[in-house]
Amino acid sequence: QVTLRESGPALVKPTQTLTLTCTFSGFSLTTSGMSVSWIRQSPGKAPEWLALVDWDDNKYYSPSLRTRLTISKDTSKNQVVLTMTNMDPVDTATYYCVRQSSETYSAFDLWGQGTMVTVSS
């Protein structure tokens, strides 16, 4: 069974750096065609893709947030970590860890339950 679980702080202060960890099971990020993305969703809004790391350690970022994001993977721990610097109240959202697979032609085929992050002083 494939699962993804996000973990990290529920509350961060403005200007702080957010670090989120995705711990997954049931697949390997060393398998060709696999990747993991972070996607966030503000209340009542559409999802917003943030970043992706693939099996070959290629990394891609949202152009609008590129300067604030860093994504990395630890295949030995089955984890993907996202850091976002200079947090602002507008970054308040639910953050999802999501798998992409070549089996579904890079669709976001499995989502974690999400972790709610509030940015407030």
Partner 1 sequence: SYELTQPPSVSVSPGQTARIPCSADALPNQYVYWYQQKSGQAPVLVIFKDSERPSGIPERFSGSTSGTTVTLTISGVQAEDEAVYYCQSADISATVTFGGGTKLTVL
Part of the chain binding partner 1 (CB under 8 A), chosen from 21-29, 67-75, 82-90, 98-106? 98-106
Q: Is 48 in the site for partner 1 (CB under 8 A)?
A: yes
Task: Give the 3-state secondary structure of residue 6.
Answer: strand
Of 16, 19, 47, 55, which lies in the binding site for partner 1, with binding defined by CB under 8 A?
A: 47
Least CB distance to partner 1 at residue 15 (A)? 27
Least CB distance to partner 1 at residue 87 (A)? 22
For the record, the structure tokens of 81 come out as 């970590």
Question: The tokens 């999501």 sit on which residue?
Answer: 98
Cβ within 8 Å of residue 43, ≥6 positions away = 93
> Vertex 68, ends 65 and 69: CA angle to 5°?
85
Of 60, 65, 69, 92, which lies in the binding site for partner 1, with binding defined by CB under 8 A?
A: 60
Contact residues: partner 1, CB under 8 A:
37, 46-49, 52, 60, 62-63, 96, 104-114
